[in-house]
């Protein structure tokens, strides 16, 4: 789902000057209802304290493996990009990162990512190509900082994206429900947009989808319906960062 989406990760029509496009907010969700499809045992995720922020992601693993090596290469590549802001106008740099992501996607351990219990977590966005999520077109005070999270609750079938702005004094949130279309598609229906203390009901047209193209218990990669890329880390993934 996008933050990220996004979490951004981390890919609609309702917005404000400080809001994120709903399509890009499709960073991830779990089925509120999936007709004719048996769902796996789900893990409830607490939205309580968000994982600690890390300045420069560099993945470190205790054992070498092809997957670990690609994840480490990806984290090293995105570390200097500030969630993607530093390469927002550099298509070549984005393509280099995308090439690493595609190598990781080819090693996806989950044949049906949207049915995996790993989906339920407090995900932190660490990279995206979504200008809407990054807020590059907003006035500086309304641009989010690096604290962009997505909480996926598999039991409730809900996803909540959150971003901090104005020096951390203001928090915006997007609340949504979701369903899945195996093996990797997540379909999101937005319910409410929250801008600081203000809350606005989302219109019925506020919906979107994304594909979960890589998922394990540390890293999630999603591609939104606006062709944006989202890379997110779970608390376990964040614990492997230095």
Supply the pLDDT for residue 44: 52
Supply the pLDDT for residue 241: 85
Supply the pLDDT for residue 4: 37
Tokens read off for 198: 């203000």
Chain segment 43-80, per-residue pLDDT in tens: 555 444 555 554 555 666 545 789 999 999 999 999 99
The secondary structure of the chain as a DSSP string is: ----------------TT---TTTT-----BS--TT-PPPP------SSPPPP-SS--B--SS--HHHHHHHHHHHHHGGGTBTGGGTT-HHHHHHHHHHHHHHHTT-S-SSGGG-GGG-SEEEEEEE--HHHHTTTS-GGGS--S-EEEEEETTTTEEEEEEEETTTTEEEEEEEEEEEETTTEEEEEEEEEEETTEEEEPPTT-EEEEEEEEE-SSEEEEEETTS-EEEEE-HHHHHTB-
Q: What are phi and psi of 41, to 5 degrees?
A: -60, 135
Supply the pLDDT for residue 136: 86
Domains and CATH numbers, the chain: 66-239 (2.40.128.280)
Supply the pLDDT for residue 39: 42
Tens digits of pLDDT across the chain (242 residues): 555 343 333 333 333 333 444 445 544 333 344 434 444 445 555 444 555 554 555 666 545 789 999 999 999 999 999 999 999 999 999 999 999 999 999 999 999 999 999 999 999 999 999 999 998 888 887 889 989 999 999 999 999 999 998 777 889 999 999 999 999 999 999 999 999 999 999 999 999 999 999 999 999 999 998 899 999 999 999 998 87
């Amino acid at each position: 789902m996008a933050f990220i989406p996004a979490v951004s990760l981390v890919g609609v029509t309702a917005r404000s000057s400080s809001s994120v496009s709903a399509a890009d907010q499709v960073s991830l969700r779990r089925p509120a209802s999936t007709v004719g499809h048996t769902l796996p045992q789900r893990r409830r995720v607490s939205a309580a304290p968000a994982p600690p922020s890390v300045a420069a992601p560099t993945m470190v693993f205790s054992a070498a493996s092809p997957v670990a090596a690609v994840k480490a290469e990806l984290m090293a590549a995105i570390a200097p990009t500030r969630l993607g802001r530093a390469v927002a106008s550099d298509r070549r740099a984005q393509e280099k990162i995308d090439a690493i992501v595609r190598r990781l996607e080819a090693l996806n351990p989950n044949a049906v990512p949207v049915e995996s219990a790993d989906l339920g977590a407090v995900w932190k966005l660490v990279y995206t190509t979504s200008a809407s999520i990054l807020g590059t077109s907003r006035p500086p005070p309304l641009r989010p900082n690096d604290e962009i999270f997505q909480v996926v609750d598999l039991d409730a079938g809900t996803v909540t994206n959150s971003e901090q702005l104005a020096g951390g004094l203001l928090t915006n949130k997007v609340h949504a429900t979701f369903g899945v279309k195996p093996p990797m598609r997540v379909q999101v229906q937005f319910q409410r947009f929250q801008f600081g203390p203000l809350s606005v009901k989302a219109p019925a047209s506020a919906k979107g989808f994304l594909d979960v193209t890589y998922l394990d218990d540390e890293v999630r990669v999603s591609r939104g319906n606006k062709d944006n890329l989202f890379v997110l880390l779970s608390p376990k993934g964040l614990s492997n960062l230095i």
